[in-house]
Amino acid sequence: MPVFRRQQHSIAVPRDLRALTTIDREHEVFPPRAGLAREDAREIWSAVQELYRSGAHPAMSLCLRRRGRIVFNRSIGHVFGGGPRDAQDAHKMLLTPDMPVCLFSASKAVTAILIHKLAEQGEIDLDVPLSLYLPEFGQAGKRGIRVSDVLSHRGGFPSIALPKAERKVELLNDWGRVIDLICRAPQTHGRQMAYHAITGGFILAELLQRVTGQTLRQYLDHHIRKPLGMTHFTYGLPPQHRDRVAINYVAGPPVRFPLSKVVERALLAPFDEVVVASNSQTFMDAVIPAGNIYSTAEELSRFFQMLLNGGEWNGKRILKPETVARAVAPRGRMSMDRMLMVPMRYSEGMMLGANPFGLYGPDTAQAYGHLGFINILGWADPQREISAALLTTGKAILGKHLVLLGKLMATIARRCE
């Protein structure tokens, strides 16, 4: 089969993608039944294929619902064997839409909703200091930080200062050590917006577990995963599913200074180490509240469709409408994120869209969702009546795929207007 020549940091891409594509024909509907013209659907899928042809992602899957109906539930590429440095004749397995992929930071949206559910039940108040529930958190100037501040990345403790020798991914498996480090960490950014890549998720999960006496997995199972009928959609991945999990690959040009230091500060370890560690049994055993839910694209789309429905799924009340409304409401204006160093707009748990152009395409101020490491997205857009998820396995910070990802998001936004 003819292929485009690849560089060391990109995959080999055949000219004809049909052999690499798997379509869930059982659940996809004829686009006009979802209010989407066939030409619009063709343009969206063409943009997905263009993104794959960038060579940055060994595998990717897309699920797009419009007006509650599945228009796309498809995957392209390989679970393993098709990475940038894999041999051409390596054993390969196709990714299918029912195979799990790690959501990384898109997990934050789910963790945030669990905290909002806890507030809905009257177990906590989002507008009081978190230290009322976790007294040890109030150290080093953090006594006044509210639960809502942490949800909206205004807690002032976006990273943990560690000696270089201790910046290891393995630290994330030591729950008690991480919580102790966060509690002792000083507030370094005041109430300024600064993305809490790891820290916010851990302290929110500790709050939930202290208040409920349940584990984070148990609470997610009871309130979200089982009511929505999910197969995966939990923190970590059970051993029986690991032979079908998508492998993550380092891709794209090397991450160099100063960007490498920004990434390492946020993730507590060097970029390449994080990617390699994400494929380990230890990572899949762990509970990382801000970063290791495993899901299919359809399951993540289903979660956002429930939010789009005002907290309802198949006649079941999962969340109250007012709970969803608060979870997706803007918390402040678009401003510079002091950690990511890009303009961002957050709710209490979600990354929000923007006008004239935002994370979810042009004129998407009503859209809400979350980005995952690095080109993973789950989102809902009430204006366009869509809930969607794009899962990718190539971890590339720089490269032409960024332009093509922007083009895909713009195509979805414009074609679903």
Residue range 170-193: mean pLDDT, rounded: 90
pLDDT of residue 268: 72
pLDDT-derived band at 3 (thresholds 50, 70, 90) equals: very low
- Does residue 159 contact residue 265 with C-beta atoms inside 8 Å? yes
Query: Would you say residue 117 has pLDDT above 80?
Result: yes
Residue 389 forms part of a structural domain: yes
- Cα gap 251→396, rounded to integer Å: 5
pLDDT digits (tens, 9 = 90+) for 166-176: 777 778 889 99
Query: Would you say residue 273 has pLDDT above 90?
Result: no
Residue range 106-127: mean pLDDT, rounded: 98
Residue 106 forms part of a structural domain: no
Instruction: Find the domain containing 326 and state its range.
Output: 3-101+245-252+269-276+293-332+361-415
Residue 63 forms part of a structural domain: yes
Residue 88 forms part of a structural domain: yes
Query: Would you say residue 1 has pLDDT above 70?
Result: no
Which of these ranges, 43-52, 220-229, 268-277, 284-293, has the smallest mean pLDDT? Answer: 268-277
Share of the chain above pLDDT 90, in %: 82
pLDDT of residue 189: 78
Q: 64 has which bridge partners? A: 72, 388
- Cα gap 236→227, rounded to integer Å: 19
Residue 207 forms part of a structural domain: no
Query: Would you say residue 182 has pLDDT above 70?
Result: yes
How does strand 386-392 pair with strand 376-381?
A: antiparallel
- CATH code for position 91: 3.40.710
pLDDT-derived band at 7 (thresholds 50, 70, 90) equals: low
Residue range 222-241: mean pLDDT, rounded: 98
pLDDT of residue 158: 93
Helix axes 107-120, 321-328, angle to 10 degrees: 130
Residue range 11-29: mean pLDDT, rounded: 96
pLDDT-derived band at 5 (thresholds 50, 70, 90) equals: very low
Across all residues in the chain, what is the average pLDDT? 93
Query: Would you say residue 123 has pLDDT above 90?
Result: yes
Query: Would you say residue 326 has pLDDT above 90?
Result: yes
- Cα gap 266→158, rounded to integer Å: 7
pLDDT digits (tens, 9 = 90+) for 353-379: 999 999 999 999 999 999 999 899 999
Query: Would you say residue 184 has pLDDT above 50?
Result: yes
pLDDT of residue 9: 79
Query: Would you say residue 4 has pLDDT above 60?
Result: no
Residue range 86-104: mean pLDDT, rounded: 94
Residue 151 forms part of a structural domain: no
pLDDT of residue 8: 62
- Cα gap 262→233, rounded to integer Å: 29
- Cα gap 417→412, rounded to integer Å: 8
- Cα gap 9→399, rounded to integer Å: 10
Q: How far is CA 284 from CA 80, 236, 257, in A?
A: 16, 4, 30
Which of these ranges, 223-227, 257-261, 401-405, has the smallest mean pLDDT? Answer: 257-261
Residue 129 forms part of a structural domain: no
Residue range 186-207: mean pLDDT, rounded: 93
Number of domains in the chain: 1
Residue range 406-410: mean pLDDT, rounded: 98
Residue range 148-170: mean pLDDT, rounded: 86
User: What is the chain's alpha carbon radius of gyration, rounded to the nearest angstrom?
Assistant: 20
pLDDT-derived band at 160 (thresholds 50, 70, 90) equals: confident
Model pTM? 0.95
pLDDT-derived band at 188 (thresholds 50, 70, 90) equals: confident
Query: Would you say residue 6 has pLDDT above 60?
Result: no
Residue 165 forms part of a structural domain: no
Residue range 101-108: mean pLDDT, rounded: 98
Query: Would you say residue 215 has pLDDT above 90?
Result: yes
